């Protein structure tokens, strides 16, 4: 029987960089089998099918993925939206590095010249929208 966490479930644990690569594939297209995921990431990352299966199993354990049985194989689908994951990770970053305040994050990015003129314009537009 398939284990299907709620669509808005949050992972119980942090997702590693390798697990995130698998999630990106599944956010783009789901459901997919382990072989399908491998076809999309293995060559570029130098991974094998057993590596992908290990990562998928970890993500299921973390409740980031749900599974459904399809004959002898399993199909994997995200158990959370990408936007929910990005929101959670963004909040963790701000909390951990900047004491829960976003302004120092933007100051750091500006000081390190990581913000382009386009980035600054988009931030200004967002701030105007939030104020109104």
- DSSP character at residue 33: E
Contact 7, 66 (CB under 8 A): no
Domains of the chain: 1-100 (1.10.10.10), 102-132 (no CATH)
Beta bridge partners of 6: none
Across the range 106-128, mean pLDDT stands at: 89
**Confidence band for 99, pLDDT divided at 50, 70 and 90:** very high
Total Cβ atoms within 10 A of residue 34: 20
pLDDT digit string (tens) for 2-52? 443 444 444 457 899 999 999 999 999 999 999 999 999 999 999 999 999
DSSP of 60-111? HHTTSEEEEEETTEEEEEESS-HHHHHHHHHHHHHHHHHTT-SHHHHHHHHH
Alpha-carbon span 132 to 128, nearest angstrom: 6
Q: In the prediction, which pLDDT does 12 show?
A: 56
């Amino acid at each position: 029987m398939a284990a299907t966490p709620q669509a808005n479930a949050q992972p119980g644990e942090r997702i590693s960089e390798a697990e995130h690569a698998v999630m990106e594939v599944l956010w783009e297209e789901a459901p997919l089998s382990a072989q399908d995921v491998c076809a999309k990431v293995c060559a570029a990352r130098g991974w094998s099918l057993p590596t992908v299966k290990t990562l998928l199993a970890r993500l299921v354990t973390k409740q980031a993925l749900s599974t459904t049985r399809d004959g002898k194989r399993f199909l994997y689908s995200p158990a959370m939206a990408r936007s929910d994951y990005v929101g959670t990770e963004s909040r963790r970053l701000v909390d951990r590095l900047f004491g829960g305040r976003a302004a120092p994050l933007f100051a750091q990015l500006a000081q390190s010249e990581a913000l382009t003129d386009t980035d600054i314009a988009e931030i200004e537009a967002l701030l105007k929208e939030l104020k109104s």
